[in-house]
Amino acid sequence: MERIILYSVLSIIIICNEFVYASDCNIKYVFKENEEVKIADCKNKGLTFIPQDLPGDINVLDMSFNLLRMIWNSSFVNYKYLQELYLSHNQLCYLSNKSFEGLQKLAILDMSENLLNLSKVYSAELFHPITNLTKLDIRSNMPQPIDFVTDYIYSDHAFSILTELSFLRIDMMPLPHFGSGFGKMTIIKQLHFDSCYLVRLSNRTFQRFSSSVEQLTLRNCRLHFVVTEDNALLPFPKLRVIDFFGTFMHLKHALQLLHPYCNKNITTINFGHVSDVSIDRADIPYVLTITVDIMKNLKTICVENLDLSENGIVDYEPGSLFSFNHPKCLRHISFKRNRFMLFSDKNLNEIQIFFSKTVKLKSIDYSYNAVNYVMKNSVTSNSDLNCSLHSCVILPKSLEKIYLSYTIANTFPIIYLIVPKNNSLIYVDVSYSNSNIAILILQIRVETFISNGGDYSFAWNQLKRSSYNTLKTIVWKNADKMMQ
């Protein structure tokens, strides 16, 4: 009897505390798409239960960064106008079958960064009240697995009812098996696997998903070397964004996955750091020379944003890395943290031809590279500089940003990068670089110039010719030489 009384008292205290905490929630109004939205901001209040005394007409409830462990039946029935519910960064490990009862208008549900086991928590009835859901985020719930050899069965019977879903962010297990229920998400556009333990990307991995997917994220799968099969992306003919950054499968294998998209338009291909020294093998060496064969798929694709950073690239064959069939498509390209010479005597003409065709190129990132090269020949080009005496490359007029920070690039003789008149260049970063590659800006339009840890003379010689009408930001810190 005493235990029962004590338990009752403790329960009353907890419930009373919840009402106290609830009163701490901030109720605010914002305009979203010309409509007034009522928000209950209950973030980081130490709450262990869903408060029941909030206004019944709230549209958004943010319960993230609290201490929730369970969601009981009918926890949200008082809030039938909820459109967005945020439960991330709690300690959720249990959801009752009717946790979301009464939330017929719910469109966005975020339960990321919790302890919700994919194989145990999601019952067939769980999502029945919220079939209008368009965005579901349940990433970062699964702990690092120990067993890498057994197929992991996803609860497709729970997810099959979410036919209006257009966005899904979920954990990726080592050997995933997605059942036929996932194919009923026929209008899904974005599929993201941010918490990733994948060890094999096979031709069957995505075969159950709808062909409607346009964005695929498979980031930081580095628990184990990811074995790939060339047709793994074949179920997604409409892909426009492919983001595999930090997934260790080797650049050569990643580029082989692109064959379904030959001669198609892709907005973004992010294969940054898909090679790593930890997976260095004789057949897939980390120190990599890009060949014509490695580029055979990528070169045919009309790609706007391309990231090949941090992949151990030390060289490239003529007719490979800069031989795109559709160079006019390129907007942004990143080669940072590699070790190849961007401009050398064997490819200077090829680079110049490439730049002359990239009429929409906005940015080049060649930061964190370190090379030394002795030129055997020079290249002539039409410019204000006498290129009969120097090796010159004219950069495209469309270029807006150049990143050359932390770069060691010493050539003999000096290479001149010429930014022509009527250019679009507004941002230059040459911080902590040791290079004798000269940049000649024929008409200054730069708004931001960053030259930390370098030689002041380069920046000063460039900018003293300017009227300073365009400059908004100049950053010169820890430099080696004072202005003359």
Residues 137 and 178 in one domain: no
Least confident of 136-140, 290-294, 300-304, 349-353: 349-353
For the segment 49-59, the average pLDDT, to the nearest whole number, is 95
- Domain count across the chain: 3
- Here the tokens at position 469 are 């009408």
Shared-domain flag, residues 257 and 402:
no
Task: Tell me which of 169 and 1 has the higher pLDDT.
Answer: 169
Phi-psi region of 187 (alpha: psi -120 to 50; beta: other; left: phi over 0): alpha
* pTM for this predicted structure: 0.88
Do residues 209 and 330 share a domain? yes
Residue 295 lies in a domain: yes
pLDDT band at 16 (very low <50, low <70, confident <90, very high): very low
Res. 338 pLDDT band, cuts 50 70 90: very high
If asked whether residues 138 and 187 sit together in one domain, one would say no
Residue 466 has pLDDT above 80, yes or no: no
Quick check: 411 pLDDT over 90?
Answer: no
Q: 134 and 47, same structural domain?
A: yes
Q: Is residue 246's pLDDT more than 60?
A: yes
Which range of residues forms the domain containing residue 103?
27-143
Please check whether residue 410 lies inside any domain of the structure. yes
Within-domain flag for 3: no
Please give the pLDDT value at position 251: 97
Would residue 156 count as lying in a domain?
Answer: no
Same-domain pairing of 335 and 376: no
pLDDT computed for residue 285 by the predictor: 93
The answer as to whether 420 is a domain residue is yes
What pLDDT score was predicted for residue 101? 96
Q: How far apart are CA 439 and CA 437, in angstroms?
A: 7
In a domain, 358, yes or no: no
130 & 188 share domain: no
How distant, in Å, are the alpha carbons of 23, 57, 64, 105, 423 from that of 27? 10, 11, 15, 20, 49
196, 175 Cβ separation under 8 angstroms: no
pLDDT of 315 > 60? The answer is yes
Over residues 179-188, the mean pLDDT reads 94
429 vs 2 pLDDT, higher one: 429
- The pLDDT value given to residue 18: 42
- Greater confidence (452 vs 101) lies with 101
Q: What local confidence, expressed as pLDDT, does residue 22 receive?
A: 45
Percent of all residues in the chain with a pLDDT value above 70, rounded to a whole number: 86
**Together in a domain, 133 and 179:** no
CATH number of the domain that residue 91 is part of: 3.80.10.10
- Mean pLDDT over 207-223 rounds to 95
* 199 shares its domain with 135: no
3-state secondary structure the chain: CHHHHHHHHHHHHHHHHHHHHHCCCEEEEEEECCEEEEEEECCCCCCCCCCCCCCCCCCEEECCCCCCCEECCCCCCCCCCCCEEECCCCCCCEECCCCCCCCCCCCEEECCCCCCCCCCCCCCCCCHHHCCCCEEECCCCCCCCCCCCCCEECCHHHHCCCCCCCEEECCECCCEECCHHHHHCCCCCEEEECCECCCEECCCCCCCCCCCCCEEEECCCCCCCCEECCCCCCCCCCCCEEECCCCCCCHHHHHHCCHHHCCCEEEEEECCCCCCHHHCCCCCCCCEEECCCCCCCHHHCEEEEEECCCCCEEEECCCCCCCCCCHHHCCEEECCCCCCCCCCCCCHHHHHHHHHHCCCCCEEECCCCEEEEECCCCCCCCCCCCCCCCEEEECCCCCCEEECCCCEEEEECCEEEEECCCCCCCEEECCCCEECCEEEECCCCCCEEECCCCEHHHHHHHHCCCCCCCCCEEECCCCCECCC
